[in-house]
Structure 1
Amino acid sequence: MNETQRVAIVTGGSRGIGRETVSRLAADGVALVVVYAGRSADAQAAVEEVTAKGGRAIAIQADIADEQAVSAVFDRAEQEFGGVDVVVNAAGVMNPGTPLVELSLDEFDRIHRTNVRGAFVVAQQAARRLRRGGSIIFFSSTVTRLRQPGYTAYGASKGAVETITLILARELRGKDITVNAVAPGPTATALFLDNNTQEAVDRLAAAPPLERLGEPKDIAEVVAFLAGPARWVNGQVLYANGGIA
């Protein structure tokens, strides 16, 4: 393997934006570690897509909120590829449509376990183990600006991710590691489409000036920018939402 090849860990890399990010980074010559929670067939398909085009990729199952599991992912990445340069934390869960007053604490905890604790655990390992010149990329959401009813728990979790992003970027002074977050608007992923009514999908698709939903590839381009040439972008939240907010 070329010793200068960059290596990326992508959580949630088996579907949606994460899957498209895997493909996009592979096109830039990056070796990939596809982290998935439970969809092994999807993760393996992502790996096969990369390797069929001459790239290098492996898939690892892990609960991103489990410190030992995430540490093991980094161990495997280092063993397989020699180190880690980019971490993209695309894993996330949501449950829109339920007002705060009706949302169970169990559901609140489920969302925050993955979206907040998971981001924190991934951030710790990335901050400890990325090579110089690396990039950490989190996912927030345009929900933090739209403030739509029914998104209290999800929006709060993404507000926490933004805070982690902005502070970690400053805590890594002198490490030559950038830390940013991408905040997509409504994007045509299974996570979005499966959790919204057709009326809501149509309304949100018409809302941006570009008059469409985002596509996973739209967001993957932003991730690739932050993971590669954007060395002077640091401690920022980039809103990729077609101008909806």
Structure 2
Amino acid sequence: MDELFLIGIGTGNPDHLTGQGIAAIRGADLVLIPRKGTDKADLADLRRDICARVLGKDGGRIAEFDLPVRDDSGDYLSGVGDWHDAIARVWAATVASAHPAPRRVALLVWGDPSLYDSSLRIAARLVPEPRVTVVPGITALQALCAAHRIPLNDLGAPFLVTTGRRLRDGGWPDCADTLAVMLDGGCAFQTLDPAGISIWWGAYLGMAQQMTLSGPLAETGPRILAARAEARARHGWIMDIYLMRRG
């Protein structure tokens, strides 16, 4: 493998794929598709659909691999590091088993490789390290703001993108009145005093099952909890994000 293309594919809508992304997929000798278990089969199916659209049903070479499971029993950062090492080994083994040997390999990345995605860090673990080309995609944050028809920032004001873990452990940071929260399986907004806070929430953004809720946190938070639990039970998985603004 001489070159690895990390291609942002957006948040579930095949139309999120850019012209640059289409060209990169068509120029690849091999496209890698991760499998995340039966509960998240929809995500692999979406990647297959994108490849079928771009390459045709009989075009291109695709190799699927099972994504290793992260051990979350110990220290968070150490666990993530070990997980990334394991993924890099699986990438390398999957490419090495392909015949003829591919020189240009593409990996379809949910959202965008630059925002709370570890594909770039994993690629840096490959030995030898290939030349990496990043093709940007639409982020969940962009899709959320588009779905709610709101600007990300207040006029002339900063915003902060953070995680549910950081919000739960540290509370609302003092540096911004607008927070975008990702990777929050525990709904950390429940730990906040809801007075004066508005929330805009979205799940399955860009997909057919897209859901959105918005309003004052005191009223909308319980609705989000109920909707999220019902959707997770129905689909077996959920990917969501929310924006909060105070004042």
TM over 0.5: no
Q: Which has the larger radius of gyration?
A: 2
Q: Which of 1 and 2 has higher RCO (CA within 8 Å, sep 6+)?
A: 2
- The structure richer in strand per residue is 2
